[in-house]
Amino acid sequence: MGSGRRIAATLNRVGYLHLPGGGQIVVDGRYGYVGHMAPPHGTTILDLAEPAHPRVIAQVSVPGDIHSH
């Protein structure tokens, strides 16, 4: 078994938020930024102050042929 599987086996889900088309994710302090690779294209900004209950605080939309990340 590779080390990636060992690390994944120790992860615990804290919260969940359905975000279609999610791609790259960056967390900075209490905020999360999700760059969407598929519709809805753009970036979603999350408030992660309560990790068990993440919430969308903003969405930046872009045309489908433009990447926001």
Q: Are 47 and 54 in contact (CB under 8 A)?
A: yes
What is the pTM for the complete model shown?
0.76
Reply yes or no on whether the pLDDT at 1 is more than 60: no
Instruction: Find how far residue 69's CA is from the centre of its chain.
Output: 12
Query: Count of CB atoms within 10 A of residue 52's CB?
Result: 9
Give pLDDT tens digits for 32-60. Answer: 999 988 888 889 999 999 999 999 999 99
Reply yes or no on whether the pLDDT at 68 is more than 70: no
Return the pLDDT at 62. Answer: 84
Q: What is the distance between the alpha carbons of residues 39 and 5, in angstroms, rounded to a whole number? A: 30
Give pLDDT tens digits for 4-25. Answer: 667 777 888 899 999 888 788 9
Domain boundaries, the chain: 3-61
